[in-house]
Structure 1
Amino acid sequence: MGGRRARTDREWSVLVTASRVLLERVPALTDQLMDELTLHSEQFDAAVPRDEHWRQINEAMRYGIEAIAAPRTAPRRDLAYAEQLGRQRAEQGLALDLLLHAYRHAGYLVWDELLRIVSEEDPDDLPMLVHTASQMWAGVDRQATTVAEAYRSTEQSMRRRSDERVQALLDALLEGRSTPGLAARAAAGLDLPEQGRYAVVVVRVERRDGREPFRRVAVAQGMRFFWRMRTDCEIAVVAFEGETGLAELTAELVRPCQGPGGVSPVVESLSGLGQARRLAETALRTLPPDAQRIVRLDERLPTALVVSQPELAARLITEVFGPLLDLDPADRAVLLETLDAWLEYGGSAGRAATRLYCHRNTVFNRLRRLEQLTSRSLSRPRDLIEMTLALDAFRLTPG
């Protein structure tokens, strides 16, 4: 560093001589440090095998002492070793604050021993040793910084690998794989019960300019969300707590997400997530692409039956709406929009007319024409069911 005072020849000579003596005392200092670290925290012995710990402390001290009296241009083996230990201690699970304590406590022991050696050899040299204290402690701080950076980098990498493994397990569950032990491993990784109440949400998304169309909920009252991104949708596994259920889930989703989205029924274990995903996707398919709603499968079962059987849906359209298919597209659209409004408002021609901006008699006339073309009566329950399902099939059929 530019502002640091250079050591005098005499100071250098005192440091070199004292360091040589100090190196001979490293085994005893290692024993002392080991004992004091164990008294400070039992985690040292729990995380690192004692023989390995002794050897590494002994080596780290030697490299540190060599650095005290080494020229500035000399390779810093103490820093390379600190980086190695930082990575290893992160993998072993020793807390970072304990690792930093060990490094700094080692610095105190080394400094005290240096003072003792110089006092024994020539007490008059103590002032010269004190002049080098700031440089020595700067070296200890640099070692601590190096070990901390390596530790944090390794910890982040481990966390990322762990997250990737857990997400892969979650993906496997959502795909419905039946690998033995899969649910148990996912439960441990996600900190969730293997047997519990879960649902799956599938939301169709359209990404533009890198912006997400909704905010992913992570935690809500009585619910935890685990989101997975797909090419054209977002999938969430929802873990319920207490009495929370689908009604609260749907209400929570409406705020950040306008849809379209589908919600599965509740399943009773993580192993049921594959089925739940398929049912949530079915619920989503009951909505047209431009819908702005989140729907539950249990509220859309008739329509779900239609979209789940494309061949039967196509036949239903042909059988029920056959004559309408020959009409001019604009004319056909008016009749089907009128039927849709009338069904939405529970058979109220007046409310349907309000939505369609026409007279209620116009609604009646259009419905009568629809009945004539389809040879069906909206007053007969079975005919009404066929008309309703055929309308869903027509609106939700691609192309």
Structure 2
Amino acid sequence: MGGRRARTDREWFVLIRSSGLLLDRLPRLTDRLMGELLAHSAEFDRAVPREEHWFQINEALRYGIEAIAASRTAPRRDLEYAEEIGRRRAEQGLPLELLHHAYRQAGYLVWDELLTIVAEEDPEALTVLARTAGQIWAGVDRQTAAVTDAYRATERELHRRTDERAQALLDALLEGRVTPGLAARAAAGLDLPELGRYAVVVLKVERHGGREPFHRIAAAPGLRFFWRMRTDCEVGVVALDDGVDPLLPAALLGSRCTGPGGVSPVVEGLANLGRARRLAETALRTCAPNTPGIVRLDERLPTALVVSQPELAERLVTGVLGPLLELDPVDRALLLETLDAWLECEGSAGRAAARLYCHRNTVFNRLRRLEHLTARSLSRPRDLIALTLALDALRLAP
């Protein structure tokens, strides 16, 4: 059985004769081992059909017994069959510890029966048999190792295939497909509630300059993230537990990612992931180029309306800011920068001046000139809205 010590002629004789007699008792041994396994755990009956189970036990015992008296150069059919059994049991879902138990019990059963046969046929040969015990049990260990390696390799492959199928279902949901049963299959594959609370995140990935994709968060208290890589972005599905603040995903990502990124509102159910993805992409489009930050769609709704209608946005720019566009680029940029700072500072000329490193009267003068050129007044709400949206449209234009 692969031990280092060469067997004596007497040992070979005892093993060949006793293993031959052991094969004559194979059906009874198979019945006995199968009975012991079923008594140990009902899981054997659940995972493996009885007829198949009996046949495979019979074959495994046969190859194991033949290996006892096989030469070192003989093909190891016991190991080949152990690998086959390992793959099959992994596919059937039988726990590995029960498979180990089956091989240990088979080893005990064969050894006990060998002792019985030798005691009945040639009691004086028991000491000879005892000297081969180490080699016989080393063979059982090799069979167990073979069955374990094959089981784990198959288990990894099955997990990979399951993950791929689940990811494909997730992709289909993000694309907005409405195939019947799709959401239910994705829920089962990803271990998620079909009607749970979800948000979608879209993070821009800049590949130039050696910049790597964003760090992927897998989980946080009350949140689970499932990421999918796209050509120029990462799309994340966020599962929110009941009662979790819908603002939490954006806050968590903002603390770990530089952005830019957009977060959708929370939607109910996996079937709505396609809509949530589109809303998250719209939120991302409200981010100015080269501007970091993770933004929620709900805090950018006016700007989202602008970027969602590019033709209307273009008319808004020309209709509201047209005269400014005819200015010298430096002059135009100065006026628009001042308007942007004033809006960011909530209409405070003093704070805007500090941001722009100029006097507050300079801010007032620039704003009055802008009002004159556009024929719009910053003190009239409708004009202020038009100027604000036109500035967003200009800044976010492709």
Shared fold, TM over 0.5: yes
AA matched with 1:306: V
Q: Match for residue 82 of structure 1?
A: 82
AA matched with 1:98: L
**1:194–1:269 CA contact under 8 A, matched in 2:** yes
Q: Match for residue 254 of structure 2?
A: 254
Q: Match for residue 102 of structure 2?
A: 102
AA matched with 1:261: G
AA matched with 1:318: T
Q: Deviation string for 1:99-157 (max 9, x for gaps)?
A: 01101110111011111111111111111111111111111111111111111111111
AA matched with 1:100: H
In the comparison of the two structures, how many residue pairs are matched?
398
User: 1:181 and 2:181 equivalent?
Assistant: yes
C-alpha distance in 1, partners of 2:243/2:351? 37
AA matched with 2:365: N
Q: Match for residue 392 of structure 1?
A: 392
AA matched with 2:357: Y
Q: CA deviation at 1:376?
A: 1.1
C-alpha distance in 2, partners of 1:327/1:24? 104
**2:2–2:138 CA contact under 8 A, matched in 1:** no
Q: Match for residue 382 of structure 1?
A: 382
Higher mean Cα deviation, 57-66 or 184-193?
A: 184-193
**2:338–2:352 CA contact under 8 A, matched in 1:** yes
C-alpha distance in 1, partners of 2:329/2:149? 68
Q: Match for residue 223 of structure 2?
A: 223
User: 1:351 and 2:351 equivalent?
Assistant: yes
SS at match of 2:378: coil
Higher mean Cα deviation, 364-373 or 276-285?
A: 364-373
SS at match of 2:176: coil
Alignment of 1:1-399 (within 5 A): 4-207=4-207, 212-398=212-398
SS at match of 1:255: helix
Q: Which runs of 5+ in 2 are unaligned?
A: none
C-alpha distance in 1, partners of 2:43/2:108? 21
AA matched with 2:142: R
AA matched with 2:38: T
C-alpha distance in 1, partners of 2:38/2:32? 10
AA matched with 1:120: E
C-alpha distance in 1, partners of 2:220/2:36? 46
AA matched with 2:131: H
Query: Against the structure 1 CA distance between its residues 213 and 69, is the aligned structure 2 distance closer, same or farther, given a 3 Å change threshold?
Result: same
Q: Which runs of 5+ in 1 are unaligned?
A: none
Q: CA deviation at 1:289?
A: 2.6
Q: Deviation string for 1:205-247 (max 9, x for gaps)?
A: 2246887443222221221111111111111111111211321
**2:262–2:296 CA contact under 8 A, matched in 1:** yes
Identity %: 74
SS at match of 1:295: strand
SS at match of 2:224: strand
Query: Against the structure 1 CA distance between its residues 234 and 87, is the aligned structure 2 distance closer, same or farther, given a 3 Å change threshold?
Result: same
**2:2–2:135 CA contact under 8 A, matched in 1:** no
Q: Deviation string for 1:62-93 (max 9, x for gaps)?
A: 00111111111111111111111111101111
CA RMSD of aligned residues (A): 1.5
C-alpha distance in 2, partners of 1:342/1:180? 52
Query: Against the structure 1 CA distance between its residues 396 and 155, is the aligned structure 2 distance closer, same or farther, given a 3 Å change threshold?
Result: same
**2:3–2:135 CA contact under 8 A, matched in 1:** no
Q: CA deviation at 1:330?
A: 2.1
Query: Against the structure 1 CA distance between its residues 187 and 59, is the aligned structure 2 distance closer, same or farther, given a 3 Å change threshold?
Result: same
C-alpha distance in 1, partners of 2:47/2:90? 10
AA matched with 1:296: R
Query: Against the structure 1 CA distance between its residues 210 and 100, is the aligned structure 2 distance closer, same or farther, given a 3 Å change threshold?
Result: farther
SS at match of 1:367: helix
AA matched with 1:269: G
Q: CA deviation at 1:3?
A: 7.7
AA matched with 2:363: V
C-alpha distance in 2, partners of 1:80/1:210? 49
**1:216–1:256 CA contact under 8 A, matched in 2:** no
AA matched with 1:359: H
SS at match of 2:203: strand
C-alpha distance in 2, partners of 1:144/1:335? 79
SS at match of 2:196: strand
